């Protein structure tokens, strides 16, 4: 009996010693708390110091392994970081281990890594594209890099579209870029593609993000250098099409153990031209009226941007920082044109147009933030307060001459108008986000945001009388005051179960606004509360990833779209606001499959009610077209997008993008009714050829098919671009020569059909152009951005 008990005890002891436990963990940088990829994590026997097994961290910095229950310790190593060694663990059950790695300041010789990373992965509501592995950032600017991502392309004006939708939020390192319109476009152009680490495409944003926008969110993640000290990038570029363009910039970064300071100055000079041709035909019982309008627009723009930011590490757990940014832009524009009028086939009269415009835009934006994270990263707190002041001034002088086609004499007096439009915006918002990890499987995140907007908008129109004096026209002048408060609260739950991830959230936004016309002493106000749920389900396997997501979105009217007074464009066109304009709501569904982290296929749909779109109201008696926005239609969009990247040879890389969509738009508005179904698709091929001695060659082609969008028919667009790149001075200096749209077939051409009026519209801008750019990187310090203000939702509606 004693012998049996002894044998059982020995076997039980052996079983206990041989028991396997599941160990999972995450590896992060100590300073930024960012996931570290491809970290070698080795497990050593604490008694013999022999290696037991090893693992590598994945794209989220995670690793998993099974280990016999006995004393062990861990060593983790990664180039640019100090080797991590843990204490001795004596574990008898499964657990999670958090590893924090400290960056090394040692200057290392150049290391060539030949292993290829995977390009695409999914995490939560994000599709993350590794720009470095894909090879699409090197030699391109920020806009060109974004245009090569799955489902993304540029339109004729170099605006970024995602699945054909330009209503995007652009973030830099998770924070709004602070810029809109042309200023944002110029900043992205000044951004080197080779400093972009990855891009997060959030087609269905979770409840954490503002609910505005139907095109989703694009978050640009910049690279981090591992060294402290001073570093910088200087660039200059020259371009020519029909006119001249030039840009310069310098960015400086300086890091110490506690401080992170960055500054930058950027300038841009841009001459441009747009040739517009509009043919409008109105048919009625009396005959056919035809207008043929040709306008040439010559703008000259100058912009200047200066920014400085600083961050200070209060402790290992807390950081504080802030940024100040100033933008100055001005433009001198000239438009000349002629409009010929025909009745049936007879040329009856014509109008000559001459317009000059001067504008200035001054923007000052600032922010302060505080962030806190516990050592275990179980609890994170991020608080911010931001302020922005926009001071914009526009003065337009327009002269029209009305001439008889037979006599070439005036049949009406000349119309001479000065239109001034000074506008002042102020935006103040504050937000706080808190997340807490209750276990290795379950995390809760919540937050609160409040924004306040004050808008002072003046429209001053003066017309020259017979005494050559400009007299105020009170019927066409207006002063509008707009104030808005939006309070938002959200909550998100995230549950991780083996290879499954579930995330659900709800965002509540309450808006209270008032628009007051000082001129006629009227007011338009309202308030409402909206709910925005979100859901995502992810499944991750060895070579395949799947994501199913849903979110509800809103697009609020631009502030000035609510202004009931009209803006004078020319003799035949005016714009007017709509105080009854309501927000549009969209339900977005998305299913994505990623294979081998290189190929992605997405199927998506957008169901929109009260869609905001332009309405063209043509008056046959005055021949004036009034343009305004209304809640014109319900819309259904269904699409599929495809993206893959592969190496045809060691020196030839190919990326394929394609997007197909079906849309159904229905409008019951009497003067703007339609019920139209249409298909469209776009495709692009980007090829890069690596040559000897640091030379490379690129060839990009794209095609956008024709399609119908409501009562608008859009014609097909196609073109191609080529480029040559060369590195000098140990790859510190890069020269890039590129020719864009060589075929010169990238233009806006559409036909608008509304009742008995058909308008054919062609905009031909100088898309065919050549550019030469130089970029120089200097210093050995660490490049790190400071958090910026979160004002993008409000800015997008300016």
Output the pLDDT for position 155: 66
d(CA 460, CA 458): 6
- Beta bridge partner(s), residue 591: 548, 603
pLDDT of 216 over the 90 cut? no
297-326 mean pLDDT: 90
The string of pLDDT tens digits covering residues 68-88 is 878 889 988 877 678 888 888
pLDDT of 786 over the 50 cut? no
- Which residues, other chains included, contact 57 with Cβ-Cβ below 8 Å and sequence gap of 6+? 26, 27, 35, 36, 37, 38, 39, 41, 63
- Beta bridge partner(s), residue 728: 733
What value, to the nearest 5°, has the Cα angle with vertex 423 and ends 275 and 392?
Answer: 60
522-529 mean pLDDT: 84
Residue 600, number of CB atoms within 10 A of its CB: 25
582-600 mean pLDDT: 89
Output the pLDDT for position 186: 64
More confident residue, 791 or 150: 150
More confident residue, 706 or 123: 706
457-473 mean pLDDT: 87
Output the pLDDT for position 38: 74
Collapsed DSSP state (helix, strand, coil) of residue 12: helix
d(CA 248, CA 234): 8
pLDDT of 107 over the 60 cut? no
Task: Among 295-299, 461-465, 794-798, name the most confident range.
Answer: 295-299
pLDDT of 114 over the 50 cut? no
d(CA 479, CA 521): 10
- Which residues, other chains included, contact 409 with Cβ-Cβ below 8 Å and sequence gap of 6+? 403
pLDDT of 154 over the 60 cut? yes
Residue reference for tokens 């990187």 = 777
Output the pLDDT for position 433: 93
Written as six digits, the tokens of 513 are 């606004």
Largest CA distance in the chain: 130
d(CA 562, CA 483): 12
Name the strand (E) or helix (H) holding 5: helix 2-18
Percent of the chain exceeding pLDDT 90 equals 27
Q: What does each C-alpha distance from 721 to 43, 578, 736 come to in angstroms?
A: 51, 42, 13
What band does 783 get if pLDDT is binned at 50, 70 and 90? very low
Output the pLDDT for position 671: 66
In this prediction the pTM is 0.76
Output the pLDDT for position 32: 63
Output the pLDDT for position 466: 82
Write down the mean pLDDT value for the chain. 82
Nearest to 736 by CA among 709, 701, 772, 760: 772
What band does 156 get if pLDDT is binned at 50, 70 and 90? low
More confident residue, 483 or 14: 483
591-614 mean pLDDT: 88
What band does 111 get if pLDDT is binned at 50, 70 and 90? very low
More confident residue, 744 or 786: 744
368-374 mean pLDDT: 88
Contact at 8 Å (CB) between 206 and 536?
yes
- Which residues, other chains included, contact 164 with Cβ-Cβ below 8 Å and sequence gap of 6+? 639, 659, 661, 680, 682
Output the pLDDT for position 183: 60
Give the chain's radius of gyration (CA, Å). Answer: 30
SS (H, E, C) 223-278: CCCCCCEEEEEEEEEEEECCCEEEEEEEEEEEECCCEEEEEEEEEEEEECCEEEEE
d(CA 475, CA 453): 27
The DSSP secondary-structure symbol of 672 reads G
Contact at 8 Å (CB) between 329 and 181?
no
Phi-psi region at 376: left, alpha or beta (left = phi > 0; alpha = psi -120 to 50): alpha
pLDDT of 726 over the 70 cut? yes
What band does 285 get if pLDDT is binned at 50, 70 and 90? confident
Output the pLDDT for position 259: 86
pLDDT of 3 over the 60 cut? no
Output the pLDDT for position 333: 94
What band does 113 get if pLDDT is binned at 50, 70 and 90? very low
pLDDT of 338 over the 80 cut? yes
pLDDT of 106 over the 70 cut? no
What band does 16 get if pLDDT is binned at 50, 70 and 90? very low
522-540 mean pLDDT: 88
Output the pLDDT for position 108: 39
pLDDT of 795 over the 50 cut? no
d(CA 587, CA 681): 22
The string of pLDDT tens digits covering residues 404-457 is 999 999 998 888 989 888 889 898 989 999 999 888 789 999 999 999 999 888
More confident residue, 715 or 476: 715
d(CA 418, CA 775): 44
d(CA 764, CA 780): 45
Written as six digits, the tokens of 202 are 């959030």
Output the pLDDT for position 116: 45
- Which residues, other chains included, contact 72 with Cβ-Cβ below 8 Å and sequence gap of 6+? 43, 44, 45, 46, 52, 88, 89
The DSSP secondary-structure symbol of 474 reads G
pLDDT of 164 over the 50 cut? yes
Output the pLDDT for position 207: 86
Contact at 8 Å (CB) between 429 and 452?
yes
pLDDT of 190 over the 70 cut? no
pLDDT of 109 over the 60 cut? no
At residue 562, what are phi and psi to the nearest 5 degrees? -90, -5
């Amino acid at each position: 009996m004693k012998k049996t008990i002894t044998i059982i005890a020995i076997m039980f002891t052996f079983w206990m010693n041989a028991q396997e436990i599941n160990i999972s963990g995450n590896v992060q940088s100590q300073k930024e708390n960012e996931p570290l990829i491809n970290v070698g994590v080795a497990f050593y026997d604490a008694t013999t110091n022999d290696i037991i097994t090893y693992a590598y961290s994945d794209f989220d910095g995670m690793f998993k392994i099974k280990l016999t229950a006995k004393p062990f310790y861990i060593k983790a190593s990664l180039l640019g970081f100090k080797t991590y060694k843990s204490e001795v663990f004596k574990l008898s059950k499964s657990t999670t281990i958090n590893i924090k790695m400290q960056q090394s300041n040692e200057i290392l010789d150049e290391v060539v890594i030949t292993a290829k990373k995977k390009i695409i992965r999914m995490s939560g509501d994000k599709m993350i594209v590794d720009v470095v592995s894909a090879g699409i950032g090197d030699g391109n600017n920020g806009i060109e890099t974004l245009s090569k991502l799955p489902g993304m392309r540029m339109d004729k004006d170099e605006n970024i579209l995602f699945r054909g939708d330009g209503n995007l939020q652009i973030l830099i390192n998770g924070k709004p870029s602070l810029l809109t319109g042309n200023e944002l476009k110029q900043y992205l152009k000044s951004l080197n593609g080779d400093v972009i680490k990855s891009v997060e495409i959030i087609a269905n944003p979770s409840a954490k993000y503002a609910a505005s926008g139907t095109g989703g969110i694009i978050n640009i993640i910049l690279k981090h250098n591992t060294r402290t000290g001073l570093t910088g990038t200087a660039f200059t570029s020259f371009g020519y099409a029909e006119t001249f363009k030039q840009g310069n910039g310098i960015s400086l970064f300086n890091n110490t153990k506690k401080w992170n300071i960055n500054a930058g100055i950027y300038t841009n000079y841009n001459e441009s031209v747009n040739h517009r041709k509009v043919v409008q035909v109105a048919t009625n019982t009396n005959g056919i009226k035809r207008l043929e309008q040709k306008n040439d627009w010559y703008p000259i723009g100058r912009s200047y941007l200066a920014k400085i930011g600083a961050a200070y590490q209060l402790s290992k757990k807390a950081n504080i920082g802030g940024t100040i940014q100033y933008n100055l832009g001005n433009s001198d524009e000239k438009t000349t044109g002629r409009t010929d009028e025909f009745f049936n086939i007879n040329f009856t009269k014509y109008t000559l147009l001459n317009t000059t415009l001067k504008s200035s835009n001054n923007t000052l934006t600032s922010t302060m933030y505080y962030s806190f994270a516990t050592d275990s990263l179980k609890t994170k707190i991020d608080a911010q307060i931001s302020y922005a002041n926009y001071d914009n001034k526009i003065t337009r002088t327009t002269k029209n001459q009305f001439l008889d086609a037979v006599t070439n004499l005036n049949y009406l007096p000349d119309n001479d108008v000065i239109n001034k439009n000074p506008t002042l915006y102020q935006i103040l918002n504050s937000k706080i986000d808190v997340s807490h990890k209750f276990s290795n499987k379950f995390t809760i995140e919540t937050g609160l945001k409040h924004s306040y907007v004050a808008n002072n908008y003046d429209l001053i129109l003066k017309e020259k009388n017979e005494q050559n004096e400009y007299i105020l026209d009170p019927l066409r002048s207006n002063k509008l005051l707009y104030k808005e408060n939006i309070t938002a609260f959200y909550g998100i739950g995230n549950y991780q179960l083996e290879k499954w991830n579930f995330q659900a959230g709800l965002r509540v936004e309450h808006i209270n606004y008032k628009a007051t016309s000082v001129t006629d002493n009227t007011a338009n106000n309202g308030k409402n509360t909206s709910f925005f749920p979100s859901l995502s389900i992810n499944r991750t396997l060895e070579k395949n990833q799947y994501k199913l997501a849903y979110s509800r979105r809103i697009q609020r009217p631009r502030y000035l779209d609510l202004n009931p007074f009209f803006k004078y464009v020319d003799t035949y066109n005016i714009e007017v606001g709509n105080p009854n304009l309501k927000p549009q709501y969209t339900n977005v569904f998305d299913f994505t499959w990623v294979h081998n982290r290189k190929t992605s296929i997405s199927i998506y749909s957008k169901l929109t009610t009260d869609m905001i779109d332009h309405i063209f109201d043509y008056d046959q008696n005055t021949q004036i077209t009034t343009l305004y926005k209304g809640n014109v239609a319900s819309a259904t969009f269904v699409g599929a997008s495809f993206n893959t990247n592969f190496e045809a040879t060691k020196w030839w890389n190919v990326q394929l993008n394609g997007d197909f969509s079906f849309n159904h738009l229905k409008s019951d508005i009497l003067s703007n009714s339609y019920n139209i179904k249409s298909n469209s698709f776009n495709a692009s091929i980007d090829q890069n050829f690596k040559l000897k001695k640091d030379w490379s060659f690129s060839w990009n082609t794209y095609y956008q098919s024709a399609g119908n969008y409501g009562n608008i028919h859009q014609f097909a667009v196609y073109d191609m671009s080529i480029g040559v790149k060369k590195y000098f001075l140990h790859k510190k200096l890069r020269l890039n020569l590129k020719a864009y749209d060589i075929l010169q077939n990238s233009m806006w051409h559409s036909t608008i059909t509304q009742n008995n009026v058909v308008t054919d519209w062609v905009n031909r801008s100088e898309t065919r152009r050549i550019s030469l750019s130089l970029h120089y990187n200097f210093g050995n310090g660490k490049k790190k951005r400071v958090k910026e203000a979160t004002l993008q939702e409000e800015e997008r509606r300016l």
